[in-house]
């Protein structure tokens, strides 16, 4: 959502959202988890030679004790956590362990760090900065889906603390919940996994049939195809494929769940989607919110999908998006079961990215979660549902599935120099881009040999654990955790200074390892031109500098690629870089004020090369009034190349650069 911002005058990890009078009140159902650190290895967990069989045996034992087919237990657990234990830390929705048993009250330790912010989510200087005054009610009651661990404790007789931290107890608790759901449906505790569809649907915690069915269908897809992986605790778990399995889907009609009408929500049929509209309303003196009506893609193309995290939990975030004085985004995805809520139609322009050019050309997707809480993990159900939504939108609007079109909010450029320090940094270094693109069926692979001229960043997520600070306390190391990002140095030496970002820190101050400091890091799937190699190190062109990252052959953090790059035209020592692709002054008709084509403080220097993601005309959507009669899309003749310039994408004028194939 608003996510986090990096501010050189604030401690790393300080989280900000926009407000005016009074702080945003973040009440019940806010699961901050910012102080949640991994628990010590649970008692009874295994290591060494036995590490491969301990969790597998726990599934077998629970299956026998509670008479739940082991394939059902394994399938449900995979969809919840991919069998990971996360060291006993809770998910973004307060779920613990491989079965994701929820205990939201235990995870409720404070509130997210919402305070004053500098980014205008609309990102258009032609209209006054938005001043939201929304609050989150403090008396929301926790729904059943957020307290399944309490129920599991009642069914098993095991202490809640043990269910949270001991993987075998956690699996037993999940088995007990499934067995209880099966009995409530009047179904026998059958050994045939086909007989458990209704119980699996109820286990999702969803309160509507569409979401529950989508969840159960995913579980049975996992059982049919089979899975095998090594967990985050080093344990090998296997679910044998059962390709002929045909679950008894008619059981869904006896679950007692409500039926929700999509009411025109724009989603693929394979997900559950609910229409919860953001209001288009006028208030005050010619003020309105919280989005703009448009006619996309007829009036202007949709080029980007922007991935956010909410920095708040489901109920509170939905309260915010329904406030006309607040900001907006197109979709929100729930953690526990993957339910999608749509708030703004694709034809309209939501205020979500802090850059009006990107807003006008994008769809924003929020994910229930917290950037600076690495162990407040995202569920597999949310990753899968989000990937289905992105695949659907990609097909519908012709959006390429690559990292210059599927952007994190942290990849959106500041539109002008003054806005750069206030741009947001979600979903952050703990979003698993590699797994996400595997679900999109576009995994990141080598596409060239050593002389292709480019690299695609691709560390091993679980093994790649760079140190970050500021998740909980300024300057204090975050808990060790897998990451999608790789750190950049000014020399091929980990003791060398980090790469600097003069836009983020105009004073030239050093970059930091703060979790919100994107100045000196690259992310999985991003592509850069190779600037040199030295032993285990690879250099790339980044923010006008030669930046080095460790890339040993036996533990690579990038793979070779080829494509197209831009470099300054012959004779030019440098060319300007822009945060938005606006038209030239002569393109604006009468009645539409011309928007400045403002260069950023960066320069693309002679001899440097940057990867091209797209070529686009200068374009500006004029929409500053509640009535739409004055709205216009201005398209210029100047062309721009979108490039991967730093951690964020930027733009250069096509007239300033030469396009050429990459090679080294």
Closest CA to 614 of 405, 440, 453, 456: 405
Rounded CA gap, 221 and 215, in Å?
10
Instruction: Report in angstroms the alpha-carbon separations of 502 from 188, 499, 511, 520.
Output: 66, 10, 10, 11
pLDDT of residue 139 exceeding 60, the answer is no
Closest CA to 462 of 235, 174, 225: 235
The confidence band for 312, taking pLDDT boundaries of 50, 70 and 90, is confident
CATH number of the domain where residue 439 is located: 3.40.80.10
pLDDT for res 15 = 27
Q: Are residues 466 and 427 in the same domain?
A: no
Closest CA to 560 of 543, 538, 542: 538
**How confident is the model over 216-225, as a mean pLDDT?**
97
The boundaries of the domain holding residue 645 are 567-661
Out of 540, 562, 584, a domain closes at 562
Beta pairing partners, 457? 558
Q: What is the pLDDT of residues 48-73, one digit of tens each?
A: 434 446 999 999 999 999 999 999 99
Q: Are residues 429 and 459 in the same domain?
A: no
CA dihedral 444, 448, 450, 451 (to 10 degrees): -130
Residues 6+ apart with CB under 8 A from 50: none
Q: Are residues 162 and 175 in the same domain?
A: yes
**How confident is the model over 589-611, as a mean pLDDT?**
96
Give a three-class secondary structure readout of 216-246.
HHHHHHHHHHCEEEECCCCCEEEECCCCCCC
Rounded CA gap, 291 and 509, in Å?
37
**Pairing mode, if any, of strands 454-457 and 340-342?**
unpaired
- pTM of the complete model: 0.86
Contact call for residues 181 and 251 (beta carbons, < 8 A)? no
- Of 9 and 154, which is predicted with more confidence? 154
Out of 254, 271, 296, a domain closes at 254
pLDDT of residue 25 exceeding 50, the answer is no
pLDDT of residue 333 exceeding 70, the answer is yes
- Of 384 and 11, which is predicted with more confidence? 384
pLDDT for res 24 = 29
Neighbours of 303 (CB within 10 A): 25
Closest CA to 526 of 490, 500, 563: 563
| The most confident of 283-287, 486-490, 626-630, by mean pLDDT | 486-490
Out of 201, 231, 254, a domain closes at 254
Q: Are residues 11 and 53 in the same domain?
A: no
Q: Is 510 part of any domain?
A: yes
High-pLDDT (> 70) share of the chain, %: 86
pLDDT of residue 89 exceeding 50, the answer is yes
Instruction: Report in angstroms the alpha-carbon separations of 148 from 93, 206, 619.
Output: 11, 12, 50
pLDDT of residue 444 exceeding 50, the answer is yes
Structural domain total, the chain:
4
Q: What is the pLDDT of residues 414-430, one digit of tens each?
A: 999 999 999 999 999 99
CATH number of the domain where residue 163 is located: 1.10.530
Q: Are residues 245 and 272 in the same domain?
A: no
The confidence band for 371, taking pLDDT boundaries of 50, 70 and 90, is low
The confidence band for 471, taking pLDDT boundaries of 50, 70 and 90, is confident
Q: Are residues 381 and 333 in the same domain?
A: yes
Give a three-class secondary structure readout of 638-650.
EEEEEEECCCCEE
pLDDT of residue 613 exceeding 80, the answer is yes
Q: What is the pLDDT of residues 506-526, one digit of tens each?
A: 999 999 999 999 999 999 999
pLDDT for res 568 = 98
Query: Can the peptide bond before residue 427 be classed as cis, meaning omega within 30 degrees of 0?
Result: yes
Residues 6+ apart with CB under 8 A from 559: 444, 445, 446, 447, 455, 456, 458
The confidence band for 374, taking pLDDT boundaries of 50, 70 and 90, is low
Query: ∠ CA 431-436-439 to the nearest 5 degrees?
Result: 160
């Amino acid at each position: 959502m608003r996510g986090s911002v990096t501010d050189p005058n604030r401690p790393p990890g300080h989280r900000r959202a926009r407000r005016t009078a009074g702080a945003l009140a973040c009440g019940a159902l806010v699961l901050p988890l910012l102080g949640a650190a991994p628990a010590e290895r649970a008692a009874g967990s295994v290591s060494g030679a036995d590490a491969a069989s301990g969790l597998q045996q726990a599934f077998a034992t629970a299956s026998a004790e509670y008479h739940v087919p082991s394939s059902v237990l394994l399938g449900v657990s995979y969809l919840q956590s991919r069998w990971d234990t996360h060291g006993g830390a809770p998910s973004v929705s307060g779920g613990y362990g491989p079965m994701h048993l929820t205990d939201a009250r235990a995870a409720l330790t404070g509130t997210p760090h919402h305070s004053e912010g500098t980014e205008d989510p609309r990102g258009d200087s032609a209209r006054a900065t938005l001043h939201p005054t929304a609050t989150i009610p403090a008396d929301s009651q926790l729904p059943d889906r957020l307290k399944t661990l309490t129920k599991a404790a009642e069914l098993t007789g095991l202490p809640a603390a043990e269910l949270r931290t001991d993987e075998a107890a956690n699996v037993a608790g999940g088995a007990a919940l499934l067995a209880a759901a099966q009995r409530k449906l009047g179904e026998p505790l059958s050994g045939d996994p086909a007989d458990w569809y209704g119980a699996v649907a109820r286990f999702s915690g969803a309160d509507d049939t569409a979401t529950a069915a989508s969840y159960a269908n995913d579980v049975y897809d996992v059982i049919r195809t089979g899975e095998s992986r090594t967990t985050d605790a080093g344990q090998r778990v296997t679910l044998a494929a059962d390709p002929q399995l045909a679950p008894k889907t008619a059981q869904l009609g006896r679950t007692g769940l409500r039926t929700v009408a999509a009411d025109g929500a724009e989603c693929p049929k394979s997900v559950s989607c609910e229409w919860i509209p953001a209001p288009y309303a006028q208030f005050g003196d010619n003020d309105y919110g919280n989005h703009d009506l448009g006619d996309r893609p007829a009036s202007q193309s949709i080029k980007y999908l922007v991935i956010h995290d909410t920095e708040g939990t489901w109920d509170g975030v939905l309260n915010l998006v329904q406030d006309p004085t607040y900001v907006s985004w197109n979709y929100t995805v729930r953690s526990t079961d993957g339910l999608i809520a749509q708030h703004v139609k694709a034809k309209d322009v939501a205020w979500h990215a802090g850059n009006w050019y990107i807003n006008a050309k994008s769809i924003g997707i929020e994910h229930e979660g917290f950037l600076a809480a690495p162990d407040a993990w995202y569920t597999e159900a949310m990753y899968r549902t989000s990937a289905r939504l992105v695949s659907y939108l990609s097909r519908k609007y012709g959006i390429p599935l690559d990292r210059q079109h599927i952007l994190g909010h942290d990849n959106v450029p500041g539109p002008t120099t003054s806005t750069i320090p206030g741009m947001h940094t979600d979903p952050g270094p703990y979003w698993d881009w590699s797994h996400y693109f595997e679900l999109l069926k576009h995994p990141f692979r080598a596409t060239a040999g050593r002389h292709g001229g480019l690299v695609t960043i691709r560390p091993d997520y679980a093994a790649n654990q760079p140190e970050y600070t500021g998740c909980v306390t300024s300057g204090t190391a975050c808990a060790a955790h897998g990451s999608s990002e790789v750190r950049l140095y000014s020399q091929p030496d980990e003791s060398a200074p980090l790469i600097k970002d003069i836009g983020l820190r105009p004073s030239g101050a050093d970059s930091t390892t703060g979790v919100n400091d994107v100045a000196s890091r690259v992310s999985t799937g991003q592509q850069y031109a190779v600037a040199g190699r030295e032993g285990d190190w690879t250099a790339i062109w980044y923010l006008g500098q030669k930046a080095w990252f460790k890339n040993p052959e036996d533990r690579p953090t990038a793979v070779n690629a080829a494509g197209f790059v831009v470099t300054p035209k012959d004779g030019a020592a440098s060319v300007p870089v822009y945060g938005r692709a606006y038209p030239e002054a002569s393109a604006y008709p009468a009645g539409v004020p011309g928007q400045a084509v403002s260069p950023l403080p960066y320069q693309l220097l002679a001899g440097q090369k940057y990867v091209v993601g797209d070529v686009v005309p200068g374009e500006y959507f004029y929409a500053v009034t509640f009535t739409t009669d004055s709205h216009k899309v201005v398209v210029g003749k100047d062309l721009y190349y979108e490039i991967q310039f730093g951690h964020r994408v930027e733009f250069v004028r096509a007239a300033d650069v030469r396009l050429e194939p990459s090679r080294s």
